[in-house]
Amino acid sequence: MTNKTKVLNTLDEIRCNTLWIYLSLRGYISGSHQLTTLGKILSKAYTFASSKGVSPDQYVEPILLGMEMLRLGVLASDTTIDKASYPLTSPTSPTADQKYISLLSRVASLATLNHKPEVGYSGPLCRPALSFQSMISAVRSSQRDLIETTFTVLLLNGDIDRRMAEKDLREVGFT
């Protein structure tokens, strides 16, 4: 049986199709090729970040990661708060303040933080924030695995021109 569809032969085509399939699998795009409610929210978030002059390299992954964490129900201010676990608040702080600090720390941990290598972190540790960071790492890894699997399926199905330069195919994995 021959594949009568056009094979993908440029990096942009491969990236776009891989991302399209990923977004479809995750429910951001419907089977009729329309944005779902989640897709519209994601699109508005990207449009807003772009309108503020933020580079796509800085917002694409954190926004998508935030959407996935919202879907899991862990990115909210109504999660259980252990007053002793949040060193930035006093035990007598109102619970609402602690919930907002919890939400703020969760949202802030979605983005990558780069600090000077010679200055390590020296602040107090917060176990809930550390466990949330572990969840972020797991979700980020599973997202990456799904995208790579989607690319592999395209390659194995013959949807990608295998005569492309090896350098170009490797380049897809780095973007």
Q: What is the mean pLDDT of residues 113-117?
A: 70
Q: How confident is the model at residue 21 (pLDDT cuts 50, 70, 90)?
A: very high
User: Which band of pLDDT confidence, cut at 50, 70 and 90, is reported for residue 79?
Assistant: low
Q: 35: helix, coil or strand?
A: strand
Tell me the C-alpha distance between 173 and 158, whole Å.
Answer: 18
Q: Work out the percent of the chain whose per-residue pLDDT is above 70.
A: 79
Name which of 8, 44, 14 is nearest 150 in CA terms: 14
Contact present, 139 and 68 (Cβ < 8 Å): yes
User: CA–CA separation, 147 vs 174, rounded Å?
Assistant: 12
pLDDT of residue 32: 95
The per-residue pLDDT for 166 is 82
Contact predicate 109/129, CB 8 Å: yes
Q: Are 35 and 28 in contact (CB under 8 A)?
A: yes
pLDDT at 116 over 60: yes
**pLDDT of 149 above 90:** yes
- Report the chain's C-alpha Rg in angstroms: 20
Predicted local distance difference test score (pLDDT) of residue 145: 94
The DSSP 8-state label assigned to residue 111 in this structure reads: S
Residue range 127-154: mean pLDDT, rounded? 90
Confidence band of 163 (pLDDT split at 50, 70, 90): confident
pLDDT digits (tens, 9 = 90+) for 37-66: 999 999 999 999 999 988 888 889 999 999
Sign of torsion over alpha carbons 96, 97, 100, 106: negative
φ/ψ of 11, rounded to 5, equals -60, -40
Query: What is the model's pLDDT at position 89?
Result: 52
